């Protein structure tokens, strides 16, 4: 056996070590992207989250107008951070439908009182059933739904000011 | 020493991440009445990955969302749904991520192929060496 062959295992070991070191230094992306993007909304009918509010159903989304579906909760801290951006979207004429996860009417009312109410209606998802059906894995998440009720885009995490134009562009695209 | 104890107590008292104040879903912490169905649910819950507390199964996690997932698994099994159908439903929404039982796909086939390949290579190397040592009388 020639001598250089003795170094093959060492070389392989160094290669594996190098690969591991490289991968450990890569930034970790732990967002879980929904596989529902591009598919129609699942069938659902959520009761109104606020006393005297409107229930939320998938049928509402099939009238030709693109909307945002905002999955949030009054107990969620990043939801406070995104409230001004939702307000800005609302002012830009975007209809935002809310889905409140595991939330109480009085807590929701208090949140909207403090942080503003950009929602056309809010449905209550007390067992995270719609959240699971949407492939959403946390709060807040925002889905762009086109006028046929197809999920066109998923925004994971709070909406920061730089995301507002992105979402407006997605909504325009969904209009076409 | 006392100061240290106070410090420890303060550390333990830091509030955890914001969570809702809703009671857990009915089947989050309650077993199904039928032991056979509960066993089926248990097996599935142990192989579904928690979404908010990554690297735990939903059976292991106390996250509210994991509780809601357990509720969904148990109530669907109670209504006669097959566990693998529920897994399929979850994978339609969350992809391979959600399942601890990897499927063969375009991205995962090396996971299955590489060990076989390594065994094959080791087998060939071993048989060649054995043949050679037989050919050379010691």
CB A131 within 8 A of CB A59: no
Instruction: State how far residue B46 is from chain A, nearest Cα, in angstroms.
Output: 18
Which of A37, A127, A133, A143 has the highest number of chain B CBs within 10 A, making it the mutation to test binding with B?
A127
Task: Measure CB to CB from residue B65 to each of A35, A75, A128 and give the nearest one.
Answer: A128
Q: Is it the case that residue A28 has pLDDT exceeding 90?
A: no
> What is the rounded distance in angstroms from the CA atom of residue A102 to the CA atom of residue B22?
6
What percent of chain A has pLDDT above 90? 89
- For the segment B32-85, what is each residue's pLDDT rounded down to a tens digit? 999 999 999 999 999 999 998 878 999 999 999 999 999 999 999 999 999 999
CATH architecture of B23-103: Orthogonal Bundle (1.10)
Q: What is the DSSP string of A20-31?
A: HHHHHTSPP---
pTM higher than 0.90, yes or no?
no
All structural domains of chain A, each given as residue ranges with its CATH number in brackets, are 45-175 (3.40.30.10)
> What is the rounded distance in angstroms from the CA atom of residue B74 to the CA atom of residue B42?
8
């Amino acid at each position: 056996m020639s001598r250089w062959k003795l170094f093959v295992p060492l070389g392989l070991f160094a290669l594996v070590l190098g690969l591991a070191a490289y991968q450990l230094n890569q930034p970790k992306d732990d967002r879980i992207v929904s596989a529902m993007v591009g598919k129609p909304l699942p069938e659902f009918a959520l009761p109104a989250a606020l006393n005297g509010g409107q229930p939320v159903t998938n049928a509402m989304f099939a009238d030709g107008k693109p909307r945002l579906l905002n999955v949030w909760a009054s107990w969620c801290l990043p939801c406070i951070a995104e409230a001004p951006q939702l307000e800005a979207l609302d002012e830009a004429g975007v209809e935002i439908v809310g889905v409140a996860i595991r939330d109480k009417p009085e807590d929701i009312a208090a949140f909207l009182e403090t942080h503003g109410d950009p929602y056309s209606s809010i449905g209550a998802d007390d067992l995270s059933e719609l959240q699971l059906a949407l492939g959403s894995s946390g709060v807040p998440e925002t889905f762009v739904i086109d006028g046929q009720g197809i999920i066109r885009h998923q925004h994971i995490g709070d909406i920061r000011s730089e995301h507002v134009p992105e979402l407006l562009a997605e909504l325009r695209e969904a209009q076409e | 020493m006392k100061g240290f104890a106070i410090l420890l107590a303060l550390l333990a008292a830091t509030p955890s991440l914001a969570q809702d104040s809703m009671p857990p879903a009915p089947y989050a912490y309650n077993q199904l009445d039928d032991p056979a169905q509960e066993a089926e649910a248990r097996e599935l819950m142990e192989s579904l990955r928690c979404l908010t507390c990554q690297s735990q199964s939903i059976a292991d996690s106390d996250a509210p969302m994991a509780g809601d997932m357990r509720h969904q698994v148990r109530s669907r099994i109670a209504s006669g749904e097959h566990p693998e159908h529920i897994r399929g439903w979850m994978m339609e929404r969350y992809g391979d991520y959600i399942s601890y039982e990897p499927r063969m796909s375009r991205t995962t086939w090396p996971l299955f192929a590489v060990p076989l390949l390594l065994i094959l290579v080791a087998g060939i190397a071993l048989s060649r060496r054995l043949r050679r040592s037989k050919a050379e009388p010691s």
